[in-house]
Amino acid sequence: MGHGMLQIGEVAERIGLSLRTIRHYEEVGLAVPSARSEGGFRLYTEDDVERLRVIMQMKPLGFSLEEMRELLQALADGGPADRLAHYRTAAADRVEALRAQLTTADAFAQRLRT
């Protein structure tokens, strides 16, 4: 096993994703492990784990697989700056929308309590 390589179970435990979810992200080509052990076990580098973290953060904001793929590519390449800016704005917009939903949900929960 290469230096600093993690098996899928260790990755799952470290970042709090299920094995099934991690395998799904591999199947759709979002987070393919960098290597396999002689026995065929998936082996993940720190960069692979970081990719999974980014996916975890994008998922609740409602980004599509295609958008996630594109952003991960842009982050890996270190550009293009305009694409990164586009996603920065999109993420901020989605966070705003979620805040508004949360405010509405809070008000509703309050009404049910009183």
Strand partners, 6: 44
Q: Where do the structural domains in the chain lie, given as residue ranges?
A: 6-113
The CATH label, of 2.60.40.10, 3.30.420.10, 1.10.1660.10, 3.90.180.10, for the domain at 6-113 is 1.10.1660.10
In whole angstroms, give the CA distance from residue 14 to residue 88: 26
Q: What is the pLDDT of residue 80?
A: 73
Tokens of 76: 């890996």
Q: Percent of the chain scored above 90 by pLDDT?
A: 72
Instruction: Tell whether the torsion through CA atoms of 70, 74, 75 and 77 is positive or negative.
Output: positive
Burial of 105 (0-12, 13-18, 19+ CB in 10 A): exposed
Non-local (6+) Cβ contacts of 75 within 8 A are: 54, 84
User: Which is it for the CA torsion 18, 9, 48, 92, positive or negative?
Assistant: positive
Q: According to the model, what pLDDT value does residue 3 have?
A: 64
Q: What is the mean pLDDT of residues 57-79?
A: 88
This prediction's pTM: 0.79
Strand stretches in 6-99, DSSP E: 6-7, 35-36, 42-44
Q: Is 90 helix (H, G, I), strand (E, B) or coil?
A: helix
Residue 81 has pLDDT above 80, yes or no: no
Q: Give the rounded percent of residues in the chain with a pLDDT score beyond 70.
A: 97
